[in-house]
Chain A
Amino acid sequence: MQLNLKSLFWNAIFVLVLISVCWLIYASGKRIDYNWNWERVVPYIATNAASSINAPADGEIVLAANNQLVLQNLSGDTIVELGGYSSLSVYEGDLIFEGDSLATIEEWRIGPILQGVITTIKISAWSLVFALFLGLFIGLMRISSNPALKKLSVVYIELIRGTPLLVQIFIVYFFIGTVLDLERFTAGVIALSVFTSAYVAEIVRSGIQSIPKGQMEAARSLGMNYPKAMIYVILPQAFKQTLPPLAGQFINLIKDSSLVSVISITDLTKAGREVVSGSFAPFEVWFTVAALYLILTSGLSWAIQALEKKLSASD
């Protein structure tokens, strides 16, 4: 009972601190000369504003056999059927030129910020997959008894960890990208996965080395060759060990992906910057962007925790 009261007290303190921090942020927001317009951000996330359907070519509006208006081009072929639209802006017999508005339509479309979220997810997911494989490969080289492989991996790791990601992105995009004629997105994925793989390699190495030597001996004594022993015995155990640090590294990857905006990839950060200049609501937009990153990272963190729980059956 005593313990219960004590924990209740400190939990109350925790909530109190959170509330006061929130209040502080709110109060400082009020104090400055700034009009908060959260509703301005919404259309940049998703909008159902009317958009118009434009004529793809010159033609004439005629009544088709099924009693519905269609746009026919000059040779009499139907190019747009207008039956499905509720708000038509043309009448039968109208002469239409290319680009004229035929109808307006209201449907939910994603705005630039969500578009940015999708790009960020895409670039992070690709980089995560490549970083995992590359990191595993480099990590295995790192523990190899072959001096060439071992030293190459050490050089790789030191080189990548010793230079800033931002500089690496520039080098990959402007130098390697020019030599190999890479697209922005590819260059971004390469820079991010190369950078992350150096850290993954070290995590993989420490994970493998944390598995007792007896495991490898037991596997080899059963007649497994080295690769089989790695794949079926060592790596599954090392994977479980390395999940928590890997999770941290991949959360870093999502956050680091914001740096690719410098090579004009419209990810969440760049979308945020563009929206700020269009909406005149910088504070709201940046808070929104931060919240969206938080959703992405906590989603990943939650997924990895679930995986960890699943793998803990053998503990």
Chain B
Amino acid sequence: MKNIIRAEKVNKIYPNGCHALKDVSVNVDKGEVIVIVGPSGSGKSTFLRTLNQLETINNGAIEIDGIDMYARSTDINKLRQDVGMVFQGFNLFPHKTALGNVMLAPLKVANRAPKEVKKDAESLLKKVGLADRQDNYPNHLSGGQQQRVAIARALAMTPNIMLFDEPTSALDPEMVGEVLDVMKDLAKEGMTMVVVTHEMGFAKEVADRVMFMEDGELLVSDTPNNFFDTPSNPRLQKFLSKVL
């Protein structure tokens, strides 16, 4: 089966000399759920952001659905429509209602008919359990609700891949569950997902593969069982002993 994401020896060096990613290679199959864990500053968020070119890379190669991201002929805006992203800080558009947030990209990027877009947006909000809050502005929603709207917004462009950048880290503990539930549903539907998170429970339950990054290096990539129960890498053992 062809990989839907192929990252080959990705290197990222910031202008200040910080070497954030060192030869990171990851292949993801269609429908796979990948969870990346690691201490803060390990480069896991940076790596995730290279997958839709919010961060450019210095060398290496990234292919999404067989399309080379850095080929001259590649339209990055088109490619990004296929890769939904959910941010730690939600980043909802505060001047639009929940419905408006979900509708904006299909209307302005895909140029679809407003009636159809509205119908789809309403069913997406229903899917994340916010049908009754569609006319609320983000500032009138709780963190968990905002993040669920953000997921619906990313899904509105019908992406094949969803990236989650610490989606529950900015949430109050009692709201983490509702966001994880939406993500679990997505995983069940067969969505290809790459998730950066500190929720080890989620990784154990949902992930097909769990990856461990530290200091810009991808050290371990294994099934959740092997990853958590029989870790062989000493640095992973040390990390797990701190977080579990």
Residues of A within 8 A of B (CB): 212, 214-215, 217-225, 228, 232-233, 236-237, 240, 311, 313-315
Contact = CB atoms under 8 A, between A and B. Distances in A.
Contacts of B137: 313-315
A44 B116 CA distance: 61
Q: List the 6 closest A-B pairs by CB distance, nearest first.
A: A223-B81, A218-B91, A214-B91, A222-B105, A314-B137, A221-B85
Given A214-B87, A214-B89, A228-B109, A222 B95 contact: no
B77 A218 contact: no
Contacts of A228: 108-109
A223 B153 CA distance: 12
Contacts of B77: 220, 223-225
10 contacts: A215-B91, A215-B93, A220-B77, A221-B80, A222-B81, A222-B109, A222-B154, A232-B104, A311-B95, A315-B139
Contacts, number: 72
A220 B54 contact: yes
A220 B87 CA distance: 12
A221 to B, nearest CB: 4
Interface of B: 52, 54, 77-78, 80-81, 83-85, 87, 89, 91-97, 104-105, 108-109, 137-139, 150, 153-154, 156-157
A89 to B, nearest CB: 66
B78 A223 contact: yes
A112 B92 CA distance: 54
A240 B156 CA distance: 27
A222 to B, nearest CB: 4
B109 A224 contact: yes
B157 A237 contact: no
Nearest to B52: A221
Contacts of A237: 93-95
Contact of A224 (B54, B87, B96, B105): B105
Contacts of B138: 314
A315 to B, nearest CB: 6
A222 B153 contact: yes
A76 B83 CA distance: 85
Given A222-B154, A222-B157, A217 B109 contact: no
Contacts of A314: 94-97, 137-139
Given A222-B156, A223-B78, A223-B105, 6 more contacts: A221-B85, A222-B157, A237-B94, A311-B95, A314-B94, A314-B96
Nearest to B137: A314
A231 to B, nearest CB: 8
Contacts of B105: 222-224
A87 B96 CA distance: 64
A233 B153 CA distance: 14
Contacts of A225: 77
A223 B93 contact: no
A223 B80 contact: yes
Nearest to A225: B77
Contacts of A220: 54, 77, 80
Contact of B93 (A218, A221, A240, A315): A218
A237 B150 CA distance: 18
A225 B93 CA distance: 16
A145 B73 CA distance: 23
B109 A223 contact: yes
A222 B104 contact: yes
Contact of A233 (B54, B80, B93, B157): B93
A214 B94 CA distance: 12
A234 to B, nearest CB: 10
Given A217-B87, A228-B108, A222 B80 contact: yes
Nearest to B94: A314
A233 B84 CA distance: 17
A228 B105 CA distance: 10
Given A215-B91, A314-B94, A221 B54 contact: yes
B236 to A, nearest CB: 30
B113 to A, nearest CB: 17
B94 A221 contact: no
Nearest to B85: A221
B84 A224 contact: no
Which of B52, B78, B139 counts the most chain A CB atoms within 10 A? B52
A252 to B, nearest CB: 27
Contacts of A224: 77, 105, 108-109
